[in-house]
């Protein structure tokens, strides 16, 4: 069976808003497509696996972000290289911010990120909390939930993940959420995001397969028909819930 | 110091309460109006209680624990006032005091036991520092409201600091066990569970770590009340070194831990309350470990928390679930064999607007789910399917789903978030009447 190595980045500190669900969803979908998923849980101080086909990171509390800071700085260069090579990555909320250039705190302190994305984040006192719905050119309507006080801005022209139709997104001004650079995606969507947006999950899986086995087309999976019907209904409901 | 509350405020409050009863309006409204017109009302009333006030706080188990303490204290012979309607803001507490107050503003009770919402508890404490505070746990809950769990931890820690005479803490919660009171004379007591029971009581960290085994159980050797063992509905407690096995009136091992908290809380009061020693009125009370534990063991479940209904040939149990730790503990501790399962999930603010948390629940004890319903039925069904569970039916309409679920006899269990629980409970009560059955508490 063809193996795909998935790394869950900073599981203990950065999976506070249900984002571990993305790891479950990716590994289940991989099995349904006939792959052998191998999940590596990576925490500060752990050795990094020799081979990684996909990296998933989530949101955490401020305290969690502090815990991982040093380790992330140490791994920054390698993660930038993997992103440039095209390794698919999905970074939610806190990890999205840390994949940017820096985070400007309320007291004016700049906390450096690892600059995978040319974006920066500013602390604010109004937290963007609520259902978030957006239209994405690649993935159609994306629905989830955002919960963040940091607001993120692009430093140069970049491709957002989607145009916000309801909610905040990157910040309360620009009307967009997230970013895509190479095959690395940042977003504020929890939910977990892959639950009601399976096309996004399949994008990550396609790219992982392409990187490792040189093929992009996924085999058909009858089991996924039922699951994706539920996901579509869930997406429909979520997109109509009040903010 | 005046030893009554303002008769005018009492009159207005009681008047509004009467009107609300006729109009079937909210329980909190009278309290809200009195709070607005008389900012000192809460403290003027609570100050009259000779044995003081205990507040119960934490993310999981407040309602049940406050109920265990209040009812046990009543059966032990103390006149107890409590906010048993689940209205746990300061206004809800005022509303619960009003019916008991005399027109002259007296509150003729011995002790108050109140559950308080995490965000309201510090506000309460600043108005009226409680004599006793019991802090159950600090888990991930309602993040759409609080933003972060660290914020909840800060609020709970503040509450603990206000406890004047006694502080009761969960020694098995890695955040709560470090709290302390700002009053050096306050006595801190701990409760906990035997390490052999730790799989039944997962914390947030355990749920995240479970899949790659980094769980480190928290020691509770500080505890004076320890839940040692569970056999069916019998819980064995070790209370100040003495073992006692009791048949419990409530169900579920997480409620047995709440019982340990309640026993610990009442014993703290018994040890530290000066009025208990000095007043003739209380000198014949038996507040020894055995009497206290027995009184706690006899209490029945709170509204929607492990309640049971008899519908036709079916026994239907209802369990409120609202966060990963609560849902996982319920699934680990309630026997599910032979029971048909329904899960209902709404996303109103009382349920938590963000449903992402369902992906952090450990569903390993479930197999087939006959019905999934509520506003986020599809989210729930999808999550269960990804967890390898079979979902027979998922739809948004709670009533239709429930009717389908109730078809055929047998034992049934419903896990539900808060507002869906309210709808389901109402339908079950109506059904019970129409079929001439009897509503009874789970036994």
pLDDT in tens, chain B (443 residues): 458 898 989 988 888 888 887 776 667 788 888 888 898 999 999 999 999 999 999 999 999 999 999 999 999 999 999 987 667 788 889 999 999 999 999 999 999 999 998 888 999 999 899 999 999 999 888 777 777 788 899 999 999 999 999 999 999 888 899 999 999 999 999 999 998 888 888 888 777 665 444 455 556 578 999 999 999 899 999 999 999 999 999 888 889 999 999 999 999 999 999 999 888 889 889 999 999 999 999 998 777 677 788 888 889 999 999 899 889 989 988 889 999 999 999 999 889 999 999 999 999 999 999 999 999 999 999 999 999 999 999 999 999 999 999 998 899 999 999 999 999 999 998 887 644 333 333 32
| A183 CB within 8 Å of a chain B CB | no
| A225 CB within 8 Å of a chain B CB | no
Both tokens assigned to A88: 């698919």
Residue A20: per-residue pLDDT:
93
Query: Is the dihedral angle over the CA atoms B322, B324, B325, B329 positive or is it negative?
Result: positive
Both tokens assigned to A130: 């609520």
CB pairs under 8 A between A and B: 104
Which residues of chain A are under the pLDDT cut of 70?
none
Both tokens assigned to B216: 């480190």
* SS3 state at B271: helix
Both tokens assigned to A71: 């380790």
Q: Rounded to whole angstroms, how far apart are CA atoms B163 and A23?
A: 43
Please, what are the domains in chain B?
A: 7-297 (3.40.1190.10), 307-434 (3.90.190.20)
Q: How crowded is residue B6: how many other Cβ atoms within 10 Å of its Cβ?
A: 18
- Which letter, b or e, does each residue of A35-60 get, where b requires 16 or more Cβ atoms within 10 Å of its Cβ? bebbbbbbbeeeeeeeebbbbbbbbb
Rounded to whole angstroms, what are the CA distances from A40 to A45, A65, A114, B217? 14, 20, 21, 23
What are the chain B neighbours of A132 within 8 Å (beta carbons)?
A: none
- Alpha-carbon gap: A129 to the closest alpha carbon of chain B (Å): 6
- Alpha-carbon gap: A237 to the closest alpha carbon of chain B (Å): 8
As a whole number of Å, the CA-based R_g of chain A is: 17
Looking at chain A, which residue has its C-alpha nearest residue B151? A61
| A129 CB within 8 Å of a chain B CB | yes
Q: Are B264 and B73 in contact (CB under 8 A)?
A: no
Residues written for chain A: 243
Looking at chain A, which residue has its C-alpha nearest residue B210? A12
- Among B147, B382, B385, B398, the residue to mutate for chain A (most A Cβ within 10 A): B382
What are the chain A neighbours of B378 within 8 Å (beta carbons)?
A: 230-231, 233-234, 237
Class of domain A2-240: alpha beta
- Among B151, B206, B354, B364, the residue to mutate for chain A (most A Cβ within 10 A): B354
What are the chain A neighbours of B140 within 8 Å (beta carbons)?
A: 16
Residue B210: per-residue pLDDT:
54
- Report ipTM (2 d.p.): 0.97
Q: How far apart are the first and last CA of chain A?
A: 44
CB contact residues (below 8 A), chain A span 195-224, against chain B: 195-196
- Alpha-carbon gap: B351 to the closest alpha carbon of chain A (Å): 14
Backbone angles phi, psi at B396, to 5 degrees: -80, -25
Closest CA relative to residue B267, chosen from B237, B301, B233: B237
Q: Rounded to whole angstroms, how far apart are CA atoms B94 and B33?
A: 10
Partners of A92 in the beta sheet?
A187
Q: Rounded to whole angstroms, how far apart are CA atoms B180 and A219?
A: 59
Q: How crowded is residue B184: how many other Cβ atoms within 10 Å of its Cβ?
A: 6
Residue B202: per-residue pLDDT:
81
Residue B216: per-residue pLDDT:
54
Residue B1: per-residue pLDDT:
44
Q: Rounded to whole angstroms, how far apart are CA atoms A243 and A219?
A: 37
- Among A17, A125, A132, A166, the residue to mutate for chain B (most B Cβ within 10 A): A17
Residue B22: per-residue pLDDT:
76
Q: Which residues of A are identified as catalytic?
A: 93, 190
Q: Rounded to whole angstroms, how far apart are CA atoms B83 and B63?
A: 9
Closest CA relative to residue B104, chosen from B191, B11, B241: B11
Closest CA relative to residue A119, chosen from A154, A92, A149, A148: A154
Task: List the single residue in A61, A130, A190 with the smallest CB-CB distance to B149.
Answer: A61
């Amino acid at each position: 069976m063809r193996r795909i190595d998935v790394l869950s980045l900073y599981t203990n500190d950065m999976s506070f808003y249900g984002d571990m669900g993305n790891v479950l969803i990716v590994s289940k979908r991989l099995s349904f497509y006939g792959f052998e998923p191998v999940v590596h849980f990576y925490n500060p101080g752990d050795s990094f696996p020799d081979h990684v086909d996909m990296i998933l990171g989530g949101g955490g509390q401020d305290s969690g972000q502090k815990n991982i800071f040093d380790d992330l700085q140490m791994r920054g260069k390698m993660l930038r290289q993997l992103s440039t090579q095209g390794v698919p990555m999905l970074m939610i909320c806190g990890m999205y911010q840390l994949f940017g250039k820096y985070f400007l705190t309320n007291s004016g302190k700049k906390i450096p990120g690892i600059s995978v994305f040319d974006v920066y984040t500013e602390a604010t006192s109004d937290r963007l909390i609520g259902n978030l719905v957006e239209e994405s050119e690649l993935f159609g309507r994306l629905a989830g939930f955002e919960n963040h006080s940091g607001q993120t801005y692009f430093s140069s022209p970049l491709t957002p993940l989607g145009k916000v139709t309801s909610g905040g997104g990157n910040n309360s001004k620009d009307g967009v959420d997230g970013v895509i650079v190479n095959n690395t995606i940042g977003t504020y969507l929890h939910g977990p995001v892959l639950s009601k947006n399976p096309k996004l999950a399949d994008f990550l899986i396609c790219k992982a397969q392409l990187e490792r086995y040189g093929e992009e087309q996924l085999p058909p999976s009858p089991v996924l028909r039922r699951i994706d019907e539920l996901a579509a209904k869930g997406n429909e409901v979520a997109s109509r819930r009040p903010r | 110091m005046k030893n009554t509350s303002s008769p005018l405020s009492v009159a207005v409050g009681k008047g509004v309460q009467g009107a609300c009863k006729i109009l079937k309006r909210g329980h909190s409204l009278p309290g809200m109006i009195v709070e607005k017109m008389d900012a000192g009302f809460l403290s003027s009333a609570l100050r009259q209680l000779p044995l003081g006030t205990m507040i119960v706080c934490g993310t999981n188990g407040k309602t049940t624990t406050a109920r265990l303490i209040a009812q046990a204290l009543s059966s032990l012979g103390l006149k107890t006032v409590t906010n048993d309607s689940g209205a746990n803001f300061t206004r809800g507490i005022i509303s619960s005091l009003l019916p008991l107050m005399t027109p002259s503003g007296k509150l003729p009770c011995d002790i108050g036991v109140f559950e308080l919402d995490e965000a309201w508890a510090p506000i309460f404490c600043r108005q009226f520092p409680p004599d006793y505070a019991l802090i159950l746990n600090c888990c991930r809950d309602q993040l759409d409201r609080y933003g972060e769990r660290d914020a909840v931890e800060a609020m709970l820690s503040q509450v603990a600091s206000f406890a004047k005479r006694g502080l009761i803490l969960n020694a098995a919660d890695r955040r709560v066990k470090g709290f302390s009171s700002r009053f050096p004379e306050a006595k801190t007591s701990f409760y906990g569970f035997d390490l052999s029971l730790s799989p039944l009581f997962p914390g947030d960290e355990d749920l995240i770590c479970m899949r790659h085994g980094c769980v480190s159980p928290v020691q509770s050797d500080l505890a004076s009340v320890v839940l040692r063992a569970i056999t069916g509905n019998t819980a064995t407690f070790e209370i100040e070194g003495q073992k006692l096995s009791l048949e419990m009136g409530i169900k579920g091992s997480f409620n047995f831990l709440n019982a340990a908290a309640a026993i610990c809380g009442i014993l703290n009061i018994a040890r530290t309350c000066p009025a208990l020693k000095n007043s003739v009125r209380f000198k014949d009370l038996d507040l020894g470990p055995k009497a206290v534990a027995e009184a706690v063991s006899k209490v029945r479940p709170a509204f929607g928390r492990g309640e049971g209904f008899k519908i036709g040939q079916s026994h239907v149990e209802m369990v409120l679930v609202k966060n990963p730790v609560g849902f996982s503990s319920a699934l680990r501790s309630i026997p599910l064999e032979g029971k048909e399962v329904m899960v209902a999930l709404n996303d109103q603010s009382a349920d938590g607007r963000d449903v992402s948390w369902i992906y952090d629940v450990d569903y390993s004890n479930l197999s087939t789910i006959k019905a999934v319903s509520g506003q986020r039925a599809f989210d729930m069904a999808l999550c269960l399917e990804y967890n390898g569970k079979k979902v027979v039916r998922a739809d948004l309409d709670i009533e239709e789903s429930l009717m389908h679920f109730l078809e055929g006899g047998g034992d049934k269990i419903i896990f539900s978030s808060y507002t869906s629980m309210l709808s389901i409970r109402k339908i079950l009560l109506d059904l019970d009447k129409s079929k001439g059955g009897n509503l009874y508490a789970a036994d």
